[in-house]
Structure 1
Amino acid sequence: MDINTVFVIGAGAGASKEANLPTGRELKDKISRLLDIRFDFHQQEHGDYQIVNALRELVKGEDGKNGDINPYIHEAWHIRDALPQAISIDNFIDSQRGNEKIAICGKLAIVRSILDAEKNSILFFEKHGRESATKSNQ
């Protein structure tokens, strides 16, 4: 392959549950929480801060001025509201093919969810020294 590709295997049916990785339903629930981005005036009260920061960087103008993330927030809510009925996050993004904002919000949430899940799984290890509890207890 000429491009960077990430394969996510086993989330749907829970094949990796024994490694403390989420099932498909748990992944959808986590993504919904991450994309439940809400503000009280200018203070973020819900949703994932890193996703919001990534969206802010995305819409920043060439002059360095902040752009409007509201269209992305509305698509994040669209994902949040639709996921309970969707087969999977991948299926939902595919069904919205052509909607770049949904693709970006969905993919950001997938990455955040999987990185967090891996960090809390028994398979996690740090490259630089500390290993997971499983490895260090052996």
Structure 2
Amino acid sequence: MRRIVYISTATGLPAAEVDRIVAAAEQGNFERQITGFLIYNGRNFLQLIEGEQAVLMSLMAKLARDPRHSGILRLIDEPITERSCAGWSMHRMRLGSDLAGRRAAIAAELPGMMSPGSRQLVENFAALN
């Protein structure tokens, strides 16, 4: 199994469109046994996905063709022995508008089993955006 964390640019997507993306991902990911979460800050996505390598590579190729975002940059691509997001086929984390709200939201929602590097990356994304 692998874990991939990436960021991409998707400026100005309406909240309803992001909700549709998450709903479609929940269904597709459940069928492919992919787990993870998505954060959108109005400009960028940060997504963590976990699953079998071939399945994730296929998903990443599909994501690269999606015109709703661009500039996909993989920040983490690592082998794993255990999922940190086993209960989520796709979960949307919503950020508060101020720094304290963003930090509180992330602290409350991040899975406890997340690797320190992945956790720090997500916390930094939330703090900077």
TM-score norm. by structure 1 comes to 0.31
Q: Which has the larger Rg?
A: 1
Structure with the largest fraction of helix: 1
Higher relative contact order (CA 8 A, sep 6+): 2
TM-score norm. by structure 2 comes to 0.32
Structure with the largest fraction of strand: 2
